[in-house]
Structure 1
Amino acid sequence: MLETIHFYHTNDIHSHFEYWLRSQYFIRNERLAYAEKGEPSFLFDVGDHLDRSNIYTEATLGLGNVKLLNEAQYDVVTIGNNEGITLDFDELYHLYDDARFEVVVANLKAANGENPKWLKPYTILRTKYGTKIGVIGATAFYELFYKELQWEITEPRKAIISIAKELRGEVDILLCLSHLGITEDEMLAQECPELDVIFGAHTHHFLEEGKMVNGVLLTGCGKFGAYTGHLVIQYDHERRKIVHKEEMVIDNALLPEIEGELEFLEQLSHTGKELMSEPLFQSAKSYNKEWFHHSQISRLFAKAVLEHTGADCAMFNAGIFLDGLKKGNVSKYDIHRILPHPINLCVVELTGRQLKEVYLQAKNEEWSQLELRGLGFRGLVFGKILTYEFSVNKNRELIVKGEVSDLNKTYQLATLDMFTFGYFFPNFKYAKKKYYLPYFLRDVLVEYCKRHFS
């Protein structure tokens, strides 16, 4: 007997629901049609379904995303870094309590105490014809972040390979939901030919027909719900082997529009705004924002950052402020509109010599016009890099907190976690640092204003 099995998959939706209704309507009808033909089907998500820059997701702390996944009848998901490190421990611990699907993450466990009931390294699905399908999941290795959040994360490829070798003899088909990125997926395929397919995510790569590496088929469907993947596997029961596997990608923008799409999006936004409407504090004045200069809100935020961290100086880009702070009652929704980014503070320890180098690098005028995508940034333009409590004077001396610095002394610089990933300031990647989790930038500003505006 030759069995045809269909796997629909999504990844890196990041709470972009513009095509959600039409794509799920399409998938549901396809699955029903295949069921009538006797062909089984499954639906997977490969992580970063939620993104706290979205009002609905922020207001429900991701529980609204789980509700949508339940309604769409997903079978198995793994978590991405947006599920894993943008929620505090308790929020992630209980995120999937009401999930009607399986959650597989092979390289994560609670650092202290019991794991949440939903967390498992793999699951085994079965078709009505008895075919056993092993599904392993793993997420990106953000070790320092998970440690701060009281989770223990291990190297994902090792975890996947260990389970794959264990499962290979027990299942007919072996799949991996990998929120690791295309480079990691390619290395995994080379090291683990036991896998049949790696469903990819994290780096937002797009593989229209998949990519074969060492006999393992890799997939990737971009980002923001623009595409849905459809994998077809043919399994020969007599020969007990896969005889064909084929990946295709559906462009959701080309699917027929579904009645009520606009109302659906408006309702999500309305729900989010209502849940976040309660005032947090009252401001006696308004604070303007500027993307290419210092501004009233950037100075206010710098004070909040320095007070929160106790650092010697601070640095951040002006583009993080999407709006100014209004006079009067300020709600959680208002603050979210100003600072929607899932970004945390980080204090980096640098010598005076290194700090001076950072200051000079920050003067790169090309960066201010950069239209940054990713690294947690959810703004429109990067903006000018602003520095507070450190500068270089006309004599090319480093001034820290108003005094000429000792270039050999160690200073603490409070900055954004996205600057520590090596793209902008390579020295940060290897410097001693402390991340301030789970507080987002908006949380830091709120707490400062509550203390000083009351």
Structure 2
Amino acid sequence: MEETVETIHIYHTNDIHSHFENWPQIHHFLQQRKQQAEADGECYFLFDIGDHIDRSHPFTEGTEGKGNIELLNKAGYDAVTIGNNEGITMSKEALNIVYEDAKFDVVLCNLTELDGKLPYWAKMSKVFETTDGVRIGVIGATAPYYAFYDQLGWSVGEPHAALQKVARNLRTQCDVIVCLSHLGIKEDRLLAAQCPEIDVILGAHTHHLLPNGEWIDDTLLAAAEKFGHYVGHVQIEVDRITGQVVHMKAEVFPTQLMEMTEEDMEEVNSLFAKGEETLQVPVFYNPSPLSQRLTGDSPLSSLFGRALLTYLDADCALFNAGIFLGSLDKGWVTKGDLHSLLPHPINPCLIHLDGTDLLTVYEQSLDPKWAKLPIKGLGFRGTLMGSMIHEHLYRNNDGQLFAGNRLVEPGEMYTLATLDMFTFGFFYPILKEAKKEYIMPEMLRDILGWYGRKYFNER
């Protein structure tokens, strides 16, 4: 009986977010596992489920993501899908060239050019065939941040319908269907229930860990948390004669148990150093030190507030003091300085608000809880929110609120420059529904650099 069964090993990573401190161990581990599979006459595949790239790391920023692709190439990945960090924190031009040297396939069925064509670097699906003729169909999709993709000039589609269509078309040609899903655990469970054609869903996006997988009917879900803390492994056994899956199981391997050598440490440090070297490009000359504070206005927040107002041509601005991860010294400010000061993949946003709503947002922003609130995710790469900073948004001695030099009144419209993370409904529910324009692909550091050049160099 045993001779008729082929064993297939699938290793998977997700949401590495340029946390290269674990990468050398992961690389060695995968090499060993590949050699072991080959020695045992078994099949081995390696997939990444997106958000490998994170522009908060100088190596990623300095190489515009191409350094990450080089690491995936060296580790021998077979296919990947993209996460939102690849898709919406990079300009369309940068995303269109980031995979040009990839030695693996990018599988993605819900992102197209505006004319409906797949980007040239992506495939709707990929069929891998083992030496014994077992065919494995791989499909993939990414989280549909509609407003962001739209602003960048992409068309992103609803993933469930797209994946089901591709899976059903592939089913007759394949023995096993594996989905690379950068959609999140809830969406994966829904997809498994709706689309029994998929055998395995490798998950990402919500940084969830499924130590032994999770079964939804006959579909196996697997996920390996985030930052390279784990490598996932799914073992599939297929009857060579009937092409039927006879057994599947999932497990994860913690990287903290993998050996790390001194050479590995050096490699991690060298990636950081390479990135920093690339970013040593002067942007503007800063005539006096600009310090920052977590609990109120500072010379740095004042400069940044003016930068936001000017770039977005807004009446007023609102942002948090915790976005600054340091201060700016006197002297030349480089791309690297701006990157370490504002590493967040956060875009500015211009919001159109009625006076009543602007007053509500202003009053919510005064809550003292913000100063010490820990923040994770939403693009934020600091630790604490810090107090809310208001630029051109203030009360006069009579307690009336002004936006610039205009009294804030019900029925009148005002423009507020702020950060995209405040528009997702977690902090200011009103901003989720308000009319807004995301400014893309500019990050906060780009706005500060632009204003510094304009304000200091042109005076």
- Which residue is 2:289 aligned to? 286
Q: Residue by residue, what CA displacement relative to the aligned partner does 1:45-65 show, whole Å, maximum 9, x if unpaired?
A: 000001000010000010000
- Which residue is 2:144 aligned to? 141
Which of 315, 319, 334 matches 1:316?
319
Q: 1:192 offset after TM fit, Å? A: 0.6
CA contact (8 A) 2:134 2:243 kept: no
Q: Does 1:406 align with 2:406?
A: no
2: distance between equivalents of 1:279 and 1:111? Answer: 36
Q: How many residues align?
A: 454
Q: Which moved more, 1:192-201 or 1:381-390?
A: 381-390
Q: 1:295 offset after TM fit, Å? A: 0.5
Question: Which residue type is aligned with residue 78 of structure 1?
Answer: T
Q: Does 1:178 align with 2:185?
A: no
Q: Does 1:86 align with 2:86?
A: no
Q: 1:150 offset after TM fit, Å? A: 0.9
Q: Does 1:152 align with 2:155?
A: yes
Identity %: 45
- Which residue is 1:189 aligned to? 192
Q: 1:403 offset after TM fit, Å? A: 3.7
Which of 423, 426, 439 matches 2:426?
423
Segments of structure 1 that go 5 or more residues without pairing to the other structure are: none
Q: Does 1:20 align with 2:16?
A: no
Residue aligned with 2:209, SS: coil
Q: Does 1:343 align with 2:346?
A: yes
Q: Does 1:327 align with 2:321?
A: no
**RMSD of aligned residue pairs (Cα, Å):** 1.2
Q: 1:425 offset after TM fit, Å? A: 1.0
Q: Residue by residue, what CA displacement relative to the aligned partner does 1:281-305 show, whole Å, maximum 9, x if unpaired?
A: 1111111011111110100001000
Question: Which residue type is aligned with residue 411 of structure 1?
Answer: Y
Residue aligned with 1:207, SS: strand
1: distance between equivalents of 2:66 and 2:81? Answer: 15
Q: Residue by residue, what CA displacement relative to the aligned partner does 1:251-282 show, whole Å, maximum 9, x if unpaired?
A: 00011123412111111111111111121111
- Which residue is 1:208 aligned to? 211
1: distance between equivalents of 2:368 and 2:183? Answer: 33
2: distance between equivalents of 1:411 and 1:403? Answer: 9
Which of 104, 107, 110 matches 2:107?
104
Question: Which residue type is aligned with residue 339 of structure 1?
Answer: L
2: distance between equivalents of 1:113 and 1:246? Answer: 37
CA contact (8 A) 2:24 2:268 kept: no
Question: Which residue type is aligned with residue 166 of structure 1?
Answer: N
Residue aligned with 1:438, SS: coil
2: distance between equivalents of 1:256 and 1:267? Answer: 19
Question: Which residue type is aligned with residue 384 of structure 1?
Answer: S
Residue aligned with 1:202, SS: coil
Q: Does 1:61 align with 2:64?
A: yes
CA contact (8 A) 2:111 2:118 kept: no
Q: Residue by residue, what CA displacement relative to the aligned partner does 1:141-184 show, whole Å, maximum 9, x if unpaired?
A: 01111111111110011100111111111100001000001111
1: distance between equivalents of 2:248 and 2:399? Answer: 63
Question: Which residue type is aligned with residue 360 of structure 2?
Answer: E
Residue aligned with 1:267, SS: helix
CA contact (8 A) 1:352 1:398 kept: no
- Which residue is 1:267 aligned to? 270
Residue aligned with 2:305, SS: helix
Q: 1:414 offset after TM fit, Å? A: 0.8
2: distance between equivalents of 1:86 and 1:321? Answer: 19
Question: Which residue type is aligned with residue 16 of structure 2?
Answer: I
Cα–Cα, structure 1 residues 28 and 278, in superposed 2: closer, same or farther, change >3 Å?
A: same
1: distance between equivalents of 2:360 and 2:395? Answer: 10
Q: Which moved more, 1:114-123 or 1:42-51?
A: 114-123
- Which residue is 2:74 aligned to? 71
Q: 1:112 offset after TM fit, Å? A: 5.2
Q: Residue by residue, what CA displacement relative to the aligned partner does 1:374-404 show, whole Å, maximum 9, x if unpaired?
A: 1000012111111111234565532221342
CA contact (8 A) 2:320 2:387 kept: yes
1: distance between equivalents of 2:367 and 2:132? Answer: 62
2: distance between equivalents of 1:403 and 1:78? Answer: 48
TM-score normalised according to structure 2 size:
0.97
Which of 301, 310, 313 matches 2:304?
301
1: distance between equivalents of 2:117 and 2:453? Answer: 35
Q: 1:367 offset after TM fit, Å? A: 2.3
2: distance between equivalents of 1:358 and 1:182? Answer: 32
TM-score normalised according to structure 1 size:
0.98
Q: Residue by residue, what CA displacement relative to the aligned partner does 1:100-127 show, whole Å, maximum 9, x if unpaired?
A: 0000110001225965432111111111
Q: Does 1:276 align with 2:279?
A: yes
1: distance between equivalents of 2:434 and 2:46? Answer: 42
Question: Which residue type is aligned with residue 400 of structure 1?
Answer: A
Residue aligned with 2:275, SS: helix
Q: Residue by residue, what CA displacement relative to the aligned partner does 1:78-113 show, whole Å, maximum 9, x if unpaired?
A: 000000011111110011001000001100012259
Q: Does 1:377 align with 2:380?
A: yes
- Which residue is 2:39 aligned to? 36
Q: 1:368 offset after TM fit, Å? A: 1.7
Q: Which moved more, 1:315-324 or 1:237-246?
A: 237-246
CA contact (8 A) 1:369 1:382 kept: yes
Segments of structure 2 that go 5 or more residues without pairing to the other structure are: none
Which of 245, 248, 251 matches 1:245?
248
Q: Which moved more, 1:155-164 or 1:104-113?
A: 104-113
2: distance between equivalents of 1:217 and 1:427? Answer: 39
